[in-house]
Chains A and B, each alone.
Chain A
Amino acid sequence: METGATGMSEPATLTIDINGFATRVWRKGSGPPMGFLAGYGGLPKWIPFLDRLAEQRTVIVPSLPGFPGGDRGHTVLDTHLDWVLAVRDLVDKAGLAGADLIGSSVGGSFAAEVAAIWPDKVRRLALIAPFGLYDASNPAADPWAQRADELAALMTARPETYKALKEVPAGANSVEWPIEQTRAAEAAARIFWPLGNTRLERRLPLIKAPTLLLWGEQDHLLPRSYADAIAAAIGGETEVRIIPGAAHLAELDRPDEVAAVILGFLG
């Protein structure tokens, strides 16, 4: 994958208020806006995938409550409705209402919710292996019950990619950094514990936006059959793309390919 040397400049950082919590919004590039809601573990650092998108569009990345940049916003969200309303607020305040929306994993589930419940908020939708379903005959893995060295291998095809994203950078607070990473896993647990099942399937038929569904060929967290179930349930026109060499967080494993497919679809 690309390293920081190839076009990795810092995005602009804005702060918005979500339920009283200061929430980070990254912004980079120019052209029509597109939003990205990050996956399991969130984004403690800017990633090459976002640079690829920013080369052609204005990329806006609001942090989900409790995820890196989202403070302790998850602690006031007790129900699914609380969560969905918080994400709606996030989309509005980040200036993403009516824009294209991309979501991965946990963030993909929220992107799908917003597109389903408030169809005017999303022009075109791109989902990378979203959470929200559970099939007992083909169970998803348990991301919260992993040995420390196994989680990275569950999230990415090359574990070092995920480890590098999560590693404390020079100059960062070495006490608060690991607490923030645990908080991201807790925030995901707060809505998706224990099975990842929010009955998203019931709302997928409400999605009318043209939708691109991407799935890592080696996703060992969410089985491929979930892609078929989601594609079949979505109300609008849906295109499915399998990304070779990628696991659950395909945007970390294959930033160039995933960005190119998404940019091509969004037009």
Chain B
Amino acid sequence: MKFLWFHLMPYKELPPDFKEKHRSVWVDIPATLFDPKRAHVMYNEFLDELEYAAECGFDAICCNEHHANGYGLMPSPNLIATALARRTTDAAICVLGNSIALYNPPTRVAEEFAMIDCISGGRLIAGFPVGTPMDTTFAYATNPSQLRERYYEAHDLILRAWTEKDVFSFNGRFNQQRYVNVWPRPIQEPHPPIWIPGAGSVETWRWAAQMDYVFCYLSYYGYKMAQTVMKGFWEEMARLGKDRNPYRAGFAQMVGVAESRSQALDLYTEAAEYFYGRCLHVDPRFAVPPGYVTEATQRAGIESQVKAAAEGKAPTGPTATAGAARMQSLVRDMRGIVDNGYLIIGSPDEVVEQLNELATTLNVGQLMLLLQFGNMPSETTKYNTRLFAEKVIPKLRPLFSQWKNRWWPKSLAQHQRAAAAE
């Protein structure tokens, strides 16, 4: 089993009445709430925390891309990844990822990821998300009716740019380049492992399987709510004739570990309620721009709702109103957060038990841990990280040892590495 330490980099000082006074943490969050002097301290603490996680023995440290977002201060995750590449030696650098439809030309991603792979000595995991509607269509104004077409085309262009040995011309529908020639080239051959963050879209599962990529379900709602999606994913893999190698799948889970459950409640309640109460306050106006959800996924969602209504049950299929729409119906108090499984808390043994259940029921080998969330103080974050590394990881490590993780970076051997900077 692999353990990846994931930072969202939330702005930690949104006012207590944020949810009442403002419509959304995303897209139109007021710039006046951002204090760059405070962000100076936050960014440096966040980088310290990621480096600390690498020191504690996590297999990878992760960052991601958001725009105009009060809970994600990384418009450019590549800047963060590069800083981390310089300050760490063994942990994989997982960028989950670059929303490749947004880059003009998309070869910019091929270049920057190749730079990170070179600087880190081949430790990069390259994530290619479509991106949320809030980031892509509203903050970055990409046409929702073209987003997916642009995404697939950008992917094809980046892959060719990494793998073709000669300069070539790219005559795409949205991108035309006479001279494609990426310098530098990635260390990893033929290219860094590609992971696809996504949700319950059947097309995305099929495509990831066809390309032999890792599918990562990045949910804020915990493993109990993820059962249906991951069940659908594995059923689709079976239909496609793919094995059940758990390393095909990643999942993100928030965890707060302490000496006891009651101590965990003391330590993590404020941060969890900050995250669900203020950070996930997203205006549903930005939830589903037309065209963002494919018609096949809309159809599957409506059919499952119709079926569920006929049977008098809650819908179980992929829904056409994921993301921000779902955020409107979240529970925001600690009891609900824990009872619903958004957040796993407890003593090390209690956390081990729940994560064991998560890993085996979802069949997920690449486990992404959100051990910093909301306005958690840096000291608490480090405590959570250290305790998890010392008391939780060793007990879960042997899980899935019968499977080969074909999707992990192949970094340079120690003797090939640049001398460490002091």
In this assembly, does B173 line the interface, its C-beta being within 8 Å of a C-beta of chain A? yes
Scan B295-306; emit 1 where CB is below 8 A from any A CB, else 0: 100110011001
In this assembly, does B285 line the interface, its C-beta being within 8 Å of a C-beta of chain A? yes
**Given A175-B302, A182-B298, A185-B290, A78 and B173 contact (CB-CB distance below 8 Å):** yes
Shortest beta-carbon distance from B71 to chain A in Å? 20
When distances are taken between beta carbons in the complex, the residues of chain A under 8 Å from B285 are 145-147, 150
In this assembly, does B198 line the interface, its C-beta being within 8 Å of a C-beta of chain A? no
When distances are taken between beta carbons in the complex, the residues of chain A under 8 Å from B299 are 175-176, 179
Give the nearest-CB partner of A188 in chain B: B290
Scan B267-307; emit 1 where CB is below 8 A from any A CB, else 0: 00000000000000000111001110001001100110010
In this assembly, does B104 line the interface, its C-beta being within 8 Å of a C-beta of chain A? no
Give the nearest-CB partner of B174 in chain A: A78
- Cα A146 to Cα B23 with chains together (Å): 13
B interface size (C-beta, 8 A): 21
Please tell me if the beta carbons of B298 and A189 are within 8 angstroms of each other in the complex: no
Please tell me if the beta carbons of A190 and B143 are within 8 angstroms of each other in the complex: yes
**Given A193-B141, A193-B144, A144 and B289 contact (CB-CB distance below 8 Å):** yes
- Cα A155 to Cα B254 with chains together (Å): 42
Give the nearest-CB partner of B305 in chain A: A175
In this assembly, does B138 line the interface, its C-beta being within 8 Å of a C-beta of chain A? yes
Shortest beta-carbon distance from A65 to chain B in Å? 11
When distances are taken between beta carbons in the complex, the residues of chain B under 8 Å from A52 are none
Please tell me if the beta carbons of B141 and A194 are within 8 angstroms of each other in the complex: yes
**Given A74-B145, A78-B173, A78-B174, A189 and B295 contact (CB-CB distance below 8 Å):** no
Please tell me if the beta carbons of A190 and B302 are within 8 angstroms of each other in the complex: no
Instruction: Kindly name the residue among A178, A183, A194 whose own CB sees the greatest number of chain B CB atoms within 10 A.
Output: A194
Please tell me if the beta carbons of B306 and A186 are within 8 angstroms of each other in the complex: no
When distances are taken between beta carbons in the complex, the residues of chain B under 8 Å from A183 are 290, 295
- Cα A147 to Cα B289 with chains together (Å): 11
- Cα A146 to Cα B295 with chains together (Å): 20
- Cα A183 to Cα B298 with chains together (Å): 11
Please tell me if the beta carbons of A175 and B143 are within 8 angstroms of each other in the complex: no
Please tell me if the beta carbons of B291 and A147 are within 8 angstroms of each other in the complex: no
When distances are taken between beta carbons in the complex, the residues of chain A under 8 Å from B144 are 144, 186, 189, 193
Q: Which of A78, A174, A193 sits near B306, CB closer than 8 Å?
A: A174
Please tell me if the beta carbons of B174 and A179 are within 8 angstroms of each other in the complex: no
In this assembly, does A133 line the interface, its C-beta being within 8 Å of a C-beta of chain B? no
- Cα A178 to Cα B295 with chains together (Å): 10
Shortest beta-carbon distance from B290 to chain A in Å? 4
When distances are taken between beta carbons in the complex, the residues of chain A under 8 Å from B298 are 178-179, 182
Q: Which of A78, A178, A189 sits near B291, CB closer than 8 Å?
A: A189
Q: Quick one: which of A98-122 are within 8 Å of B by CB?
A: none
In this assembly, does B146 line the interface, its C-beta being within 8 Å of a C-beta of chain A? yes
Q: Quick one: which of B170-220 are within 8 Å of A by CB?
A: 173-174
Please tell me if the beta carbons of B146 and A190 are within 8 angstroms of each other in the complex: yes
When distances are taken between beta carbons in the complex, the residues of chain A under 8 Å from B146 are 78, 190
Q: Quick one: which of B298-321 are within 8 Å of A by CB?
A: 298-299, 302-303, 306
Scan B225-244; emit 1 where CB is below 8 A from any A CB, else 0: 00000000000000000000
**Given A182-B298, A183-B295, A185-B290, A193 and B138 contact (CB-CB distance below 8 Å):** no
Scan A178-204; emit 1 where CB is below 8 A from any B CB, else 0: 110011011111100110000000000
When distances are taken between beta carbons in the complex, the residues of chain A under 8 Å from B137 are 193-194
- Does more than half of chain A's interface fall in helix, strand or loop, or is it mixed? helix
When distances are taken between beta carbons in the complex, the residues of chain B under 8 Å from A174 are 302, 306
Give the nearest-CB partner of A184 in chain B: B290
When distances are taken between beta carbons in the complex, the residues of chain B under 8 Å from A147 are 284-285
Give the nearest-CB partner of B140 in chain A: A194
Q: Which of B143, B174, B284, B303 sits near A193, CB closer than 8 Å?
A: B143
Please tell me if the beta carbons of A189 and B303 are within 8 angstroms of each other in the complex: no
Please tell me if the beta carbons of A193 and B295 are within 8 angstroms of each other in the complex: no
Please tell me if the beta carbons of A193 and B145 are within 8 angstroms of each other in the complex: yes
When distances are taken between beta carbons in the complex, the residues of chain A under 8 Å from B295 are 179, 183
Please tell me if the beta carbons of A187 and B145 are within 8 angstroms of each other in the complex: yes
- Cα A179 to Cα B296 with chains together (Å): 10
Please tell me if the beta carbons of B141 and A190 are within 8 angstroms of each other in the complex: no
Please tell me if the beta carbons of B302 and A182 are within 8 angstroms of each other in the complex: no
When distances are taken between beta carbons in the complex, the residues of chain A under 8 Å from B173 are 78
- Cα A186 to Cα B295 with chains together (Å): 11
**Given A175-B303, A189-B291, A145 and B138 contact (CB-CB distance below 8 Å):** yes
When distances are taken between beta carbons in the complex, the residues of chain B under 8 Å from A188 are 290
Instruction: Kindly name the residue among A147, A150, A179 whose own CB sees the greatest number of chain B CB atoms within 10 A.
Output: A179
- Cα A144 to Cα B291 with chains together (Å): 11
- Cα A16 to Cα B306 with chains together (Å): 33
- Cα A74 to Cα B146 with chains together (Å): 10
When distances are taken between beta carbons in the complex, the residues of chain B under 8 Å from A175 are 299, 302-303, 306
- Cα A78 to Cα B294 with chains together (Å): 17
Scan B113-156; emit 1 where CB is below 8 A from any A CB, else 0: 00000000000000000000000011001011110000000000
Shortest beta-carbon distance from A220 to chain B in Å? 15
Shortest beta-carbon distance from A155 to chain B in Å? 14
When distances are taken between beta carbons in the complex, the residues of chain A under 8 Å from B291 are 182, 186, 189-190
Q: Which of A78, A176, A182, A194 sits near B290, CB closer than 8 Å?
A: A182
- Cα A189 to Cα B133 with chains together (Å): 14
Shortest beta-carbon distance from A149 to chain B in Å? 10
Shortest beta-carbon distance from B309 to chain A in Å? 11
- Cα A147 to Cα B285 with chains together (Å): 5
When distances are taken between beta carbons in the complex, the residues of chain A under 8 Å from B286 are 145
Please tell me if the beta carbons of B290 and A144 are within 8 angstroms of each other in the complex: yes
When distances are taken between beta carbons in the complex, the residues of chain B under 8 Å from A150 are 285
Other 5 A-B pairs with CB < 8 A, given A174-B306, A187-B145, A193-B137: A145-B286, A179-B299, A179-B302, A193-B143, A193-B145
Q: Give the A-binding residues of B (Cβ under 8 A).
A: 137-138, 141, 143-146, 173-174, 284-286, 289-291, 295, 298-299, 302-303, 306
Q: Give the B-binding residues of A (Cβ under 8 A).
A: 74-75, 78, 144-148, 150, 174-176, 178-179, 182-183, 185-190, 193-194
Between A and B, 26 residue pairs with Cβ closer than 8 Å are A75-B145, A145-B289, A147-B284, A147-B285, A174-B302, A175-B302, A178-B298, A179-B295, A179-B302, A182-B291, A182-B298, A186-B144, A186-B145, A186-B290, A186-B291, A187-B145, A188-B290, A189-B143, A189-B145, A189-B289, A189-B290, A189-B291, A190-B145, A190-B291, A193-B137, A194-B137
